[in-house]
Amino acid sequence: MEILKVENLVKTYGEGDNIVNAVDNISLSVNKGEFVAIVGASGSGKSTLLHLLGGVDRPTSGKIYIDGNEINNMNNDKLAIFRRRQIGIVYQFYNLIPILTVEENISLPCDLDGNRPDKERMDLILKSFGLFERRNHLPNELSGGQQQRTSIARALINNPAILLADEPTGNLDSKSTEEIMSILKMSNRDFNQTIIMITHNLEIAKEADRIITIQDGKILREA
Binding site for ligand ADP (CB under 6 A): 13-14, 20, 22, 40, 42-48, 121, 124-125, 128, 156, 159, 186-187, 191, 193
Quote the least distance from Cβ 24 to ligand ADP, whole Å: 10
Quote the least distance from Cβ 196 to ligand ADP, whole Å: 13
Handedness of CA 51, 54, 55, 59 (dihedral sign): positive
Alpha-carbon distance values, 64 to 29, 31, 84, 106 (Å): 10, 14, 17, 27
Quote the least distance from Cβ 199 to ligand ADP, whole Å: 11
Nearer to ligand ADP, 177 or 213 (CB): 213
Nearer to ligand ADP, 10 or 20 (CB): 20
Nearer to ligand ADP, 73 or 118 (CB): 118
Q: What is residue 167's DSSP assignment?
A: S
Provide the CA 57 distance to its chain's centre, in angstroms. 14
Residues 6+ apart with CB under 8 A from 177: 169, 204
Nearer to ligand ADP, 73 or 202 (CB): 202
Whole-angstrom distance, CA of residue 59 vs CA of residue 55:
9
